[in-house]
Structure 1
Amino acid sequence: MKFSANLGFLWTDRPLAEAIHAAKAAGFDAVECHWPYDEPVAEVRAALEETGLPMLGLNTRRGDTAAGENGLAALPGREAEARAAIDEALAYARAIGAANVHVMAGFASGAEADAAFVANLSYACEAAHPHGITVLIEPLNHYDAPGYYLATTGHARAVIEAVGAPNLKLMFDCYHVQLMEGDLTNRLKRLLPIIGHIQFAGVPDRGAPDRGEVDFSYMFKVIDALGWAAPMGAEYKPGGPTEDTLGWFTLTR
């Protein structure tokens, strides 16, 4: 099994380049991040080259965070901003060799939001395809992100089918899926053909995965048995120094 350190939550007390080195020292196989846009591309790329860690992915900007926005791609009338955010994310991903871009939907609902999301994802997939980049969409639970456009794997599957692009995949975050739908084992099996990345955290508090209601020692074995070979993303809130929360990690090696 391989694991990716999500540097949106882990080692956030240091610049991204330093966090990449910390992930390497801890034994992670890859890294991923949220919004790296204020970090110098050259420094991030150098850290990835020095450590040999692949950057699995990053997110599009959320929009006006002061106003509480959490993505733009499903917001009717905001297509120009959404596509600018997609262009920016793809450019940064190309510059550092990131494999995936998570296009964030935002808070929206209804037919107009459906149309906006499908159109913007089609734009993203077409722009990403020549560079071998996969576009990801992720359902977020309604406890942490009430009103987020995409909340269930069923909705995500319907969107993926509507877009019909081979490089559009589901980001299956065990934390969000467990809170909204449960039945992780069967959902993973059914959705495996459209999954582009798997993430995890303890449920229900999004802490380290060796606590809470989900037995990740079991889930990791299930995922391994399914033939999943890519690194899985540790996207949890450590609640203190990251190094103090890695007991789960060493037990799985």
Structure 2
Amino acid sequence: MQFSANLGFLWTDLALPDAIRAAAAAGFDAVECHWPYEYAPEAIAAALAETGLAMLGLNTHRGQPGENGLSAIPGREAEARAEIDRAIAYARAIGCKAVHVMAGIAQGDAAEVVFLANLDYACKTAPELTILIEPLNNRDAPGYFLSHSDQAMRLIGRAGHPNLKLMFDCYHLQIMDGDLTRRLQRMMPVIGHVQFASVPDRGTPDHGELDHRHICKVLRDLGWVRPVGAEYKPVGPTGDSLGWLPELRAI
């Protein structure tokens, strides 16, 4: 099994180019991030070229403090599309192949109409990229528009774009939906990326209510060959939190 280091949580004490280098030194197969925009894309591209790692994904900007994305918020369409454009341009500049379009805090039919329109815009603007949507649990992200995997599946079906995929985050979906084995089996055709962390504390994937060895075996048996995103919050230095990596890599 291959793994990607999510640099939104790992090596956060380092500048992003140095965090990429640290992930490579630790033996990760790829990296991903949340919001890289404070760094010039040339600096990130140089670190990726130096290490040979790929940047698997990045997020559209969250918006103002307290917001969690813009793309499902009625009346904010112009801002949302500007952030989609910004994310796509940055992804193209560093050779990143996926953009997670963040929905934001919104509810109701009007929010769904706006979100679908913005996803249509993103998919058509960058047909060569994978556009991701991710259900977030309502403990960490109260009021977030997208919170269940079946809801995401319905939206993907309604949108009708082959490059629109599900970010299957085992941490969020165990809290909201459970039954992850069967969900992975059923949803695999539309899954664009997989992430994990322990539940309920979002710590290292070596404890808690999820057996990550089982999850990795399910993914392997389903033919998943891309890196799985380690998006957990380490206690202490990231380098001291990697004891799980050799065992899961061997699956």
Q: SS of the counterpart of 1:208?
A: coil
Aligned to 1:37: 37
Separation (CA, whole Å) in 2 of partners of 1:229 and 1:160: 22
Q: SS of the counterpart of 2:99?
A: strand
Q: SS of the counterpart of 1:252?
A: helix
How far is the alpha carbon of 1:42 from its aligned partner? 1.1
- Does residue 50 in structure 1 map to residue 35 in structure 2? no
Query: Which residue identity is paired with 1:113?
Result: A
Aligned to 2:115: 117
Where does structure 2 lack aligned partners over 5 or more consecutive residues? none
Aligned to 1:235: 231
Separation (CA, whole Å) in 2 of partners of 1:123 and 1:87: 10
Separation (CA, whole Å) in 2 of partners of 1:104 and 1:83: 11
Deviations 1:208-235 (A, max 9, x none): 0001110101111111111000000000
- Does residue 18 in structure 1 map to residue 14 in structure 2? no
Aligned to 1:4: 4
Aligned to 2:94: 96
Percent identical residues: 64
Q: How much is the aligned-residue C-alpha RMSD, in angstroms?
A: 0.6
- Does residue 148 in structure 1 map to residue 144 in structure 2? yes
Q: SS of the counterpart of 2:194?
A: strand
How far is the alpha carbon of 1:252 from its aligned partner? 2.1
Separation (CA, whole Å) in 2 of partners of 1:162 and 1:108: 19
Separation (CA, whole Å) in 2 of partners of 1:10 and 1:225: 28
Separation (CA, whole Å) in 2 of partners of 1:33 and 1:25: 17
Aligned to 1:106: 104
Deviations 1:34-55 (A, max 9, x none): 0000012111100000000000
Aligned to 1:162: 158
Separation (CA, whole Å) in 1 of partners of 2:248 and 2:153: 30
- Given the two structures, how large is their TM-score scaled by the length of structure 2? 0.98
Aligned to 2:198: 202
How far is the alpha carbon of 1:174 from its aligned partner? 0.2
Separation (CA, whole Å) in 2 of partners of 1:63 and 1:120: 15
The alignment of Structure 1 onto Structure 2 pairs a total of residues equal to 249
Aligned to 2:132: 136
Q: Which residue of 85, 88, 97 corresponds with 1:87?
A: 85
Q: SS of the counterpart of 2:4?
A: strand
Separation (CA, whole Å) in 2 of partners of 1:250 and 1:243: 13
Where does structure 1 lack aligned partners over 5 or more consecutive residues? none
Q: SS of the counterpart of 1:246?
A: helix
Aligned to 2:76: 78
Separation (CA, whole Å) in 2 of partners of 1:158 and 1:214: 26
Query: Which residue identity is paired with 1:107?
Result: I
Moved more, 213-222 or 92-101: 213-222
Runs of 4+ aligned residues of structure 1 deviating over 4 Å after TM superposition are: none
